[in-house]
Amino acid sequence: MTWQTLSLTWQYVEKWAQQTPDAEALVFEEQRLTWNDFKSGMDKAAKAFLEAGVEAGDRVAMLSMARTEFPVTYMAANKIGAMWLGINPKFTLDELRYQISDSKPAVLIAVSDFQGQDLSENLQALVREFSFLKKVLVIGSPIAGTEDYRSYVDKDRTELDALLAERIGQVRPEDEALLMYTSGSTGKPKGVVHTHQSIIENIRVEVEKFGFRQGSRALLHFPINHVAADVEIGFAGIFAGGCLVCMDRFDPAASLKVIEAEKINVLGQVPVMFLLQFQQKEFWETDTTSIELFAWAGSAAPDLMLKVLSGIAQNTGAGLVTGYGSTEVCGFVTYTEKDDDMDTLLHTVGKIGPGFELKIVDGNRREMPERQIGEIALRGPFMFSRYWNMPDETARVLDTHGWYYTGDLAWKDARGYIHITGRTTEMFKSGGENVYPREVEEVIELDESVLFAAMIAVPDETYQEVGWAYVMLQPGRETTEEALEKLCRKKLANYKVPKRFFIRNQLPLLANGKIDKTALKKEAAAHPAGK
C-alpha cells in the first residue's frame, strides 16, 4: 500500500498517524487527540467491535452529536468491514425505533444525556425491544443491559490482533461503509448507503476545490446523521490530514468563541447558521482572520449573508464557495469558483466538478437545452449504492446506466452554471401554469427586511393550487404583506404571486438547517382560511 493509492476510508487515519503523529486530529471541549491517538482509539474500538460480534456488513450505530468518539467509531467500523450509522439524539423514541428497527445495528454507542435531557428511558426501551443489539455502549452513565463505552473499548485485546488483521484484509473499496438516513422532509427517512469508494472519490474533488490541506482546522457542529458531518467536513478532514474541532450542538455565540480560540480555517455551514451568528453582538468582535474558506449549501444564500461574508473576505483574503449536492451523491458535486462574483454566488450553485457528470432532463429523462428548466440527473464515482431495504425506490431514481434522478429542478446557463428552481415535488400548477417556489422565494428575499422565504402550495377552489409564502424577518426589521405583494407583482407574472403572506420572526427548521416545509404544510392544512 502506498499513500497515493489509498482506497479505504480508515487508511487515511493510518497515513496521517505515520506522517504527522503528533499533529492534532480531533478536538472536543477539553479533549485533544493527535493522529497517533486517533489511530490507537480506532484500533481499540475495532477490536472491541470484533469481540462484540460485529461481522462484515453489520451496522455500528452511534446516538450522539459530534464528539471525538464519532470519527473514531466511524473509522473503526469501516476497518473491520462494517457500516457506520449516526443517529441524532434529538429524535423522539418513535423516530429512534424506526431507524434502529430498519438498520438493525449489531452495536449501539450512545450518550446518556443530551442538552440536559436524560436519554436513559429511551435507551432502556431500545435495549428491551431490540434483541439484535449485541452490545449497547454508553458514554456517560450506563443503565441495565448496557456497558460503559470507555471501559469496554479500553480493555486489552491483544489476542484479537490476528483476527483484526484477517478482517482488514477482507475489506474492499466497493464494500458498504456508511448508512445515512435522509432528513425526511417528506415521508419516512430513506437509508442511503455509501461505499468506501464513493466517499473517497467525492472528497478527493472537494478537498481540491476547498483548498482543504494538511493541518486545516475545520469546525464540525452538524448532527452526525448528516452528510455534512459524515463526509463533507468529517471525512474531508480525515482525507486531508486536517483537524476536526467538534461541538455537540450548533450554538451561535459559542461557535464564535470556538472559531477564534481554535483558529478555524474552514467554516462550512448552512445559511441560517451564518445568519444566527451575525445576530450575536460578539460576531463583530470575533477574530475571523484565520478563516481561509467560507462554504455553504443546503439553501440559497440571502443577500445579507453574502454582503457580510464578502466584506470579511475582502479584508482577509478568504474564499467564498457554494455548491449543490445531496446525501445520495455523498455531498457536493457542483462548485462555484473562488473568484466568482456576487451575482453568481447568489443565484447559482456553480458547475459540475471534474470527472463528474450532470444533465438537465425532461419528464421522459431526455436531455434538455440550456436555459430550460428540468430535473437534475447526476452520474459519477460518488454515487450511493442503494437505499437500505428499498429496492423499488432505488430502481425508481437510479437507472441502469448509473444516472441518479434527483428530483431537483434547475436550468443550466451558457457557462455551465446551475440555477436551482426547486423540487419536482414542490412545483405546482396554478390556473394551469407551472409555479416554481424557489423563483418566488428569491424575489421575496430581495426585500431587505427578509432573511428567508418559503412558499408552499395549498388547494384552491378556483385555481386548483395557489402559493402561500412564509417569511422570516431579520431581527429588528419590519415589512408588511402589502409591501411583499407589491414586490412580487413587480417582478413576477400574476399567477406566481403568493395568495397569502405570513410574516414571522422564526420558521421551523430541520436538523440540517433547511426550512421544514412539511411543518408549514401541516400548519396550513390546520388553518385552511389562512388565519
**Where exactly are the structural domains of the chain?**
24-194, 250-423, 428-526
Rounded-to-integer distance, Cα 91 and Cα 95, Å: 6
CB-CB contact of 120 with 74 (8 Å): no
Cα distance between residue 383 and residue 396, in whole Å:
15
Nearest partner of 428 among 306, 329, 524, judged by Cα: 524
Q: Do domains 250-423 and 428-526 have the same CATH topology?
A: no
pLDDT at 531: 47
Q: What is the pLDDT of residue 530?
A: 47
Please tell me the CATH superfamily of domain 250-423, with its number. Answer: ANL, N-terminal domain (3.40.50.12780)
- Give the HSE-up count for residue 462: Cα atoms under 13 Å, Cβ half-sphere: 4
Predicted local confidence at residue 4, as pLDDT: 66
Extended strands (E) in 217-361? 217-220, 243-246, 266-269, 293-296, 319-326, 331-335, 351-352, 357-361
pLDDT for position 474 = 87
pLDDT at 526: 87
* CATH level 3 topology of 428-526: GMP Synthetase; Chain A, domain 3 (3.30.300)
Q: Class for domain 24-194, per CATH?
A: alpha beta
**Cα(219)–Cα(204) distance, integer angstroms:** 19
**What strands lie across the sheet with 386-387, from one edge to the other?**
147-148, 135-139, 107-111, 59-63, 83-87, 176-181, 191-195, 386-387
Phi, psi of 285 (to 5 degrees): -105, -5
Q: Compute the distance between CA of residue 60 and CA of residue 78 in angstroms, rounded to an integer.
A: 9
3-state DSSP call for residue 178? strand
The DSSP line for 45-92 is: HHHHHHHHTPPTT-EEEEES-SSTHHHHHHHHHHHTT-EEEEE-TTS-
Give Cα separations from 330 to 44, 60, 99 (angstroms): 28, 19, 20
Distance CA 327, CA 383 (A): 9
Q: Give φ, ψ of 444 to 5 degrees.
A: -60, -35
From CA 138, how far away is CA 408, in angstroms rounded? 39
Residue with cell 458535486: 333
C-alpha Rg value of the chain to the nearest Å: 23
DSSP state of 327: G
Q: What is the pLDDT of residue 359?
A: 98
Q: Percent helix, strand, coil in the chain (nearest 5)?
A: 35, 25, 35
Residue 436's pLDDT is 87
- The confidence score (pLDDT) of residue 183 equals 65
Along the chain (531 residues), what's the average pLDDT of each consecutive run of 10 residues?
82 98 98 99 99 99 98 99 97 94 99 94 97 98 97 98 98 98 72 99 97 97 96 98 97 98 97 89 96 91 90 96 97 95 95 98 96 97 98 97 96 96 86 87 92 92 91 92 96 93 91 84 78 47
d(CA 376, CA 226): 21
Collapse the DSSP code of 15 into the 3-class scheme (helix H, G, I; strand E, B; otherwise coil) and give the result. helix
Q: What are the cell numbers at 503?
A: 410574516
Give the distance, in angstroms, between the CA of residue 413 and the centroid of all CA atoms in the same chain. Answer: 27
Return the pLDDT at 302.
83
HEC secondary structure over 483-501: HHHHHHHHHCCHHHCCCEE
How far is it, in rounded angstroms, from Cα 524 to Cα 526? 5
Backbone angle region of 341, left / alpha / beta, with phi > 0 → left and psi within -120 to 50 → alpha: beta
